[in-house]
Structure 1
């Protein structure tokens, strides 16, 4: 049986492939913008605390819109929400490098976060609704691969472009790429499955107790995505500065970190997803976190940049493979009619990590030195490991 036939057998719904394609193109834009953002902030001589604040504003936008996005999706459809939010994101990154004041950048990042969470909740809701139950981690790993491939391509292109054109031009190119992904979603996605609206139509709006109960059931999945948000938002800003100022890596070469980390995720995530479907999502998630912690701690004594990139490939790839497993775990716990709400809660935790991570990391960096951020990150993932052991029965796989 050919690999293509196996893929089609496991993922028979063509709409999932449209989501993957849309995600890949959009993630290429994310990769371009994400790798260039620290360079813009460093170029303007912002302090670590100010840089952390810009990322916190991004997280605040996500927190503010995460819950409303679930209601908007149920009211207007995931497809429409996805298209509008992609276009909103494209407009924000087109403006970002041309805003002179910190407060203007803050507003831009807030709206960037609001539109971004609309994209994520829409994609994740469609993904969980349409993915076969027995292959959810496999389906979410393909989503992560599409994301990682986009970041890899975008980060690699960014590294080449920053040598030959202005940073503002790179952001405009990223905005055009993002707008292209919205056209794919607009013209190729079919209407949402009816299961998305079953809860609202037949049982009325969910009350506070329903939300609280759902939040408790998906707590391990949600804390994993909190760690992801905390780490991703912080590392993309502060690791380049750490490499540049402490390890004396040329500023332009730090853009390779995003691409290499995404490359590691491409190698690891699909294998981890298939293993998660067989032995349990939480078990594999915990193993990846352990690898990530060990690599983070080993990063401190390294002096060779190529060896650092190998560490990023392994550790970054392992930690970047956790999100699809936490998403699949959430999908295994919640029912289809709860997916819009569960994805909203899921992304609130992600946003809380985004919101708190850069601020706390900035304070740690300023108070204890840039090297201390590696110990902060290791402590964060260790907390997830401990929580996953305490609440290991949250994973339905333990009750098979």
Structure 2
């Protein structure tokens, strides 16, 4: 578990640093005398390069192993972030921020692969919820600190983030075991889990649909459309938009750990289906709300639903791949669905809100979440695979050293 805690701590630092630069990035871009659209493109290029480079990152994990790719990804983000702080014009900032997306997808995919390999099969839900909680807490704290640092200069948050990533690299380099796939020859001996084989699995397809809806709703529509709805429909200002985003994060934080425990105890499907239905229903209701306190409560409920299904769907993917197979490309495909939703979701939802109504935009987003829940109802439960894997690992462990007590494992 020590190595898992290393990954959790690194995730917190990464998310905290990402949050540091989020409040100042658009303003920093505009300091180069560009318009709002160009400033927004600086945000989009990060997600776009993540999406484009994800297949290559999965292939790197297949060939080199998780740990080298993880450290390489952190190093790229650290260097590119420091370069952003030194950017002298808009196009330099665009290129450096895009390179950060390349590094981001490298450490994201390799971190998922490491968690699959290191987490005990019967604790995958809890481990994934712990990892997600670290990211969430960092994402909440980062913007608060970043807003304060921005007062010292728009370049300062980038410098602080780059320094924090260097610290994370040192911690991972020294504390994460070197005896992993790709570093001891084990990588070549592990069976490769091909994407075409993964696609044949209905549970994997259900996870892809869930992650698409998750990226669309959580990383896209929530960030892009909810603030506009707060201003246009509720005649409120940015303060209410900030409260709404904070309420969503708070609701998610309340139940993430519970969602992980439920998925380990009762199976991946029950909390995943329940969470998707809750999140979908709350999202549809958001478009119908016209009272501020109802709007905030619905944001909390939507966050709670998301906190329920995220650990279950991630644990299901881990069950499908298994700790004894190399699933870098399957993980890359899984991540790409979320990135695709985060890119396309705000554009289409914004277009629908503009041409039809905000209610229609929220209804489409909620319907996607509910459709994913329905698909899960017909997919096999994956926790039975985790149970078989745990029994196999236990029997192999006993054969290696039958004199060793179980509590020494």
TM-score between both structures, scaled by the size of structure 2: 0.79
Alpha-carbon distance in structure 2 between the residues aligned to 1:369 and 1:39: 29
1:3 corresponds in structure 2 to none
Q: For structure 1, list consecutive stretches of 5 or more residues without a partner in the other structure.
A: 1-12
- 8 Å contact from structure 1 (residues 285, 322) kept in 2: yes
TM-score between both structures, scaled by the size of structure 1: 0.81
Alpha-carbon distance in structure 1 between the residues aligned to 2:233 and 2:259: 33
1:343 corresponds in structure 2 to 331
2:216 corresponds in structure 1 to 230
Aligned to 2:178, the other structure's residue is in SS state coil
2:361 corresponds in structure 1 to 373
Residues 1:46 and 2:45 are matched in the alignment: no
Alignment of 1:119-198 (within 5 A): 119-158=107-146, 164-194=151-181
Q: 2:229 aligns with which of 208, 226, 242?
A: 242
- 8 Å contact from structure 1 (residues 78, 192) kept in 2: no
* Cα-Cα RMSD: 3.4
Spell out, residue by residue over 1:65-93, the C-alpha distance to the aligned partner (whole angstroms, 9 max, x if none): 22221222243332222222123224444
1:5 corresponds in structure 2 to none
- 8 Å contact from structure 2 (residues 182, 188) kept in 1: no
Alpha-carbon distance in structure 1 between the residues aligned to 2:315 and 2:100: 26
1:8 corresponds in structure 2 to none
Larger deviation, residues 175-184 vs 65-74: 175-184
Larger deviation, residues 194-203 vs 84-93: 194-203
Alpha-carbon distance in structure 1 between the residues aligned to 2:278 and 2:30: 31
- The size of the alignment, in residue pairs, is 380
1:215 corresponds in structure 2 to 199
Flag the 1:338–1:287 CA change in 2: closer, same or farther, 3 A: same
Flag the 1:80–1:204 CA change in 2: closer, same or farther, 3 A: closer
Flag the 1:15–1:29 CA change in 2: closer, same or farther, 3 A: same
Flag the 1:372–1:29 CA change in 2: closer, same or farther, 3 A: farther
1:66 corresponds in structure 2 to 54
2:300 corresponds in structure 1 to 313
Residues 1:82 and 2:70 are matched in the alignment: yes
- 8 Å contact from structure 1 (residues 125, 340) kept in 2: yes
1:294 corresponds in structure 2 to 281
- 8 Å contact from structure 2 (residues 62, 192) kept in 1: no
Alpha-carbon distance in structure 1 between the residues aligned to 2:207 and 2:327: 13
Alpha-carbon distance in structure 2 between the residues aligned to 1:37 and 1:74: 34
Flag the 1:330–1:199 CA change in 2: closer, same or farther, 3 A: farther
Q: 1:359 aligns with which of 328, 347, 359?
A: 347
Flag the 1:78–1:201 CA change in 2: closer, same or farther, 3 A: closer
Larger deviation, residues 166-175 vs 310-319: 166-175
- 8 Å contact from structure 1 (residues 30, 151) kept in 2: yes
Which structure's relative contact order is higher, taking Cα pairs within 8 Å and 6+ residues apart? 1
2:399 corresponds in structure 1 to none
- 8 Å contact from structure 1 (residues 87, 182) kept in 2: yes
1:280 corresponds in structure 2 to 267
